[in-house]
A and B are shown apart, each in its own frame.
Chain A
Amino acid sequence: MKGLITMDDLTNDDIHSILSDAERLLPVARGELYLPLLQGKILGNLFFEPSTRTRMSFETAMKRLGGDVVNLGDVKTSSVVKGETLFDTIQMVDGYTDIIAMRHPRQGAARYAQDAARVPILNGGDGAGHHPTQTMLDLFTIQQSHGTLEGLTVILAGDLRYGRTVHSLSHALVRFGCRLIFASPELLRMPTEIVEDLREHGADVTETEDLLGNINQADVVYMTRIQKERFADEDEYAKVAGAYKLHARDLDNTKSEMIILHPLPRVDEIHPSVDSTRHARYFEQAFNGVVARMALLCRLLNIEVPAIIGGGDA
């Protein structure tokens, strides 16, 4: 594995082993221990479109492990605005860094960058394409709560058409035999080619517009934001978006161990009353972005994460 562009770059064994590394790195991510595994290494953060959590968690992950970060900065003031190609930008940053994390508005940009680069590329989102580092932190959070990734029933709800997080996550969950329920408005359904692809891989996939009617079956509910600008008029948006909002009262009959995830930022789709329920996991999920990315940075830089961290009995 050179870089991480889509989840296809990882085998199930890779996923298990990276999640296990992440688990051991938790005290380092929390700042309880300093473990400079990546001392002397430099991460290039290339975010060609806005990002808060992904960019900051990459930066935190690198610094917690003793590494350093250089940023592209605001695209509006970088050489990109002068018309520099992605190829040339990558050639330059490739020479400055040991590994690159990037987000780009165009689909396929991460794979293109990987072909142009000598150093590994971590895809932090390419258009409506893939977001595999988000998927790794989603899987980490699911495993943390359920103790397994195998055979769970997962509802993915909201904007399944444009949401790259749900595209990457669906592909990964199917590999662990999860049953998927896609709950979305007609306009924002999971792209047909993805559904067909999942079914070809033997996936049990149900498509519905009814989130609340199916919520009691779920082990995981993965909410996403429905963006107003996807709809022709505001009334239509208000009507549709209302059906994909969760309130604490909707959770009365759900499985007790069911967890609710969200890649954040949320707007109205999860009411604050949900935050204090036992089901809410989205803030832990955001924190897990650091630990999952720490494990990925080590893996792609061929740095072994020690089997025991923090002394213990050793």
Chain B
Amino acid sequence: MADEHNMRRVTAIKNGTVIDHIPSGQALKVLELLNLSGDTSVPVSLVMNVPSKKMGAKDIIKVEDRELTQSELDRLALVAPDSSIAIIRAYSVAEKLNVNLGEEVRNVVRCTFSNCITQNPREPLPHRLVVMKTDPLMLRCYYCQRPQNLDELILNLI
């Protein structure tokens, strides 16, 4: 019941993507991760700090008229690893997707260490962060092996 009420805080979308169970307060970071924060071409609805049985409080994002791809959604694992995603078509859930960080994050973010070889933007090999642990999330740069500061990492999105 509570969940249904939360979902209705903003109107249901006809087509698009709903991202639910985002940790409370992280929705703006998610928008940045998905490159939606500066995108004015699609309507985006945001609900923040709503009650959740599972999480205590959570954020929800609805993106209209755009179906986010699995690789776009995998970026979410950096800030919202437990989020659930629904692709909406004609007001109904057409597909449910899970976020999956995998063993390595490739070409999503740059290493945060200022003296890493990958800081030269002209170096052509992929940016690679290895997932050491998922709970709590711990990443290391494949090349320099430095542990990554997750707050800084968001600023290093490619």
**Chain A residues engaging chain B, CB cutoff 8 angstroms:** 6, 83, 85-87, 104-109, 111-112, 115-116, 126-129, 193
B38 within 8 A of partner (CB): no
For residue B125, which residues in chain A have a CB less than 8 angstroms away from its CB? 87, 112, 115-116
B11 within 8 A of partner (CB): no
CB < 8 Å: which of A85, A106, A193 contacts B119?
Answer: A106
Once the chains bind, are A108 and B145 in contact (CB under 8 Å)? yes
Interface centre among A85, A86, A107, A126 (most CB of B within 10 A): A107
Known: A85-B123, A87-B124. A106 touches B142 (CB 8 A): no
Question: 0/1 per residue, B70-100, Cβ < 8 Å to A?
Answer: 0000000000000000000000000000000
Known: A106-B117, A127-B115, A128-B115. A111 touches B143 (CB 8 A): yes
Once the chains bind, are B124 and A106 in contact (CB under 8 Å)? no
Once the chains bind, are B147 and A108 in contact (CB under 8 Å)? no
B55 within 8 A of partner (CB): no
A-side binding surface: helix, strand, loop or mixed?
A: mixed
Known: A87-B123, A106-B117. A112 touches B143 (CB 8 A): yes
Known: A85-B120, A85-B124, A86-B123. A106 touches B147 (CB 8 A): no
User: In the bound complex, how far is the Cα of B115 from the Cα of A104, in angstroms?
Assistant: 11
User: In the bound complex, how far is the Cα of B141 from the Cα of A104, in angstroms?
Assistant: 17
Known: A85-B124, A112-B123, A116-B125. A104 touches B117 (CB 8 A): yes
Interchain nearest-CB distance for A34 vs B (Å) = 39
Interchain nearest-CB distance for B114 vs A (Å) = 10
For residue A109, which residues in chain B have a CB less than 8 angstroms away from its CB? 117, 143
Once the chains bind, are B124 and A108 in contact (CB under 8 Å)? no
Name 16 interchain pairs, CB-CB below 8 A, sorted by A: A85-B120, A85-B122, A86-B120, A87-B124, A105-B115, A106-B115, A106-B120, A106-B144, A107-B115, A108-B142, A109-B117, A111-B143, A111-B144, A115-B125, A128-B115, A129-B145
User: In the bound complex, how far is the Cα of B122 from the Cα of A184, in angstroms?
Assistant: 38
For residue A83, which residues in chain B have a CB less than 8 angstroms away from its CB? 122
User: In the bound complex, how far is the Cα of B123 from the Cα of A116, in angstroms?
Assistant: 11
User: In the bound complex, how far is the Cα of B118 from the Cα of A104, in angstroms?
Assistant: 13
B66 within 8 A of partner (CB): no
For residue B14, which residues in chain A have a CB less than 8 angstroms away from its CB? none
Once the chains bind, are A112 and B117 in contact (CB under 8 Å)? yes
User: In the bound complex, how far is the Cα of B115 from the Cα of A112, in angstroms?
Assistant: 13
CB < 8 Å: which of A85, A105, A107, A116 contacts B113?
Answer: A107
User: In the bound complex, how far is the Cα of B143 from the Cα of A105, in angstroms?
Assistant: 14
Once the chains bind, are B118 and A108 in contact (CB under 8 Å)? yes
For residue A116, which residues in chain B have a CB less than 8 angstroms away from its CB? 125
